[in-house]
């Protein structure tokens, strides 16, 4: 069975249960789960709303990142989904999960997965602050 069990860029709410089910594996002794949510403040400024946009290559780049993590760590399963579109405070923006024979491997692979996703997958965040100012935050340059 393929180690990469679930990947996606979606414009609908993300499901923690779906991600956990995707990485469930009897060979795993540990599973890590990271849930990134929309926070109410960034750079000390209150956030009113935000939206995410993805380059058409984002899913291919997500797969490339996942394949690299799967090759570099002894894991049994991996999943990563990111949301695009308009999100409200507290909404889930990204979920990654990794299952591995041991907890250390799961933690290490999970950290690499979320860090590389944020650094290399072309997804941009547009946040509007309560004072009316706004900013674009880019995960990376367009490939």
| Residue 79 forms part of a structural domain | yes
Give the domain CATH number at 41.
3.90.1170.40
| Residue 121 forms part of a structural domain | yes
Structure confidence at residue 140 (pLDDT)? 46
Reported as a pLDDT band with limits 50, 70 and 90, residue 61 is: very high
Reported as a pLDDT band with limits 50, 70 and 90, residue 1 is: low
Residue 141 has pLDDT above 50, yes or no: no
| Residue 19 forms part of a structural domain | yes
> Considering the entire predicted model, what is its pTM?
0.92
pLDDT in tens, 19-51: 999 999 999 999 999 999 999 999 899 999 999
Q: Under 8 Å CB-to-CB from 104, ≥6 apart: which residues?
A: 30
Question: CA 39 → CA 6, 82, 121, 133, distances in Å?
Answer: 25, 16, 21, 17
Cβ atoms of 4 and 62 closer than 8 Å: no
Instruction: Show the tokens assigned to 128.
Output: 């509007």
Interatomic CA distance for residues 31 and 22, integer angstroms: 11
Reported as a pLDDT band with limits 50, 70 and 90, residue 143 is: very low
Number of domains observed in the structure of the chain: 1
| Residue 92 forms part of a structural domain | yes
Reported as a pLDDT band with limits 50, 70 and 90, residue 107 is: very high
pLDDT in tens, 63-89: 999 999 999 999 999 999 999 999 999
| Residue 143 forms part of a structural domain | no
Q: Which domain holds residue 77?
A: 4-138
pLDDT in tens, 89-101: 999 999 999 999 9
């Amino acid at each position: 069975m393929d180690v990469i069990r679930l990947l996606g860029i979606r414009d609908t709410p993300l499901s923690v249960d779906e991600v956990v089910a995707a990485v469930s594996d009897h060979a795993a002794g540990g599973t890590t789960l990271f849930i990134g949510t929309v926070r109410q403040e960034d750079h000390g400024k209150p956030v009113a709303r935000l939206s995410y946009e993805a380059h058409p290559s984002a899913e291919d780049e997500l797969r490339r990142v996942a394949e690299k993590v799967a090759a570099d760590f002894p894991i049994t399963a991996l999943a990563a989904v990111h949301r695009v579109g308009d999100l409200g405070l507290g909404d889930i923006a990204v979920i990654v999960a990794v299952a591995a024979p041991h907890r250390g491997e799961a933690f290490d692979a999970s950290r690499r997965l979320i860090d590389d996703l944020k650094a290399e997958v072309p997804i941009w965040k547009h946040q509007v602050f309560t004072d009316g100012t706004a900013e674009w935050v880019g995960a990376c340059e367009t490939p």
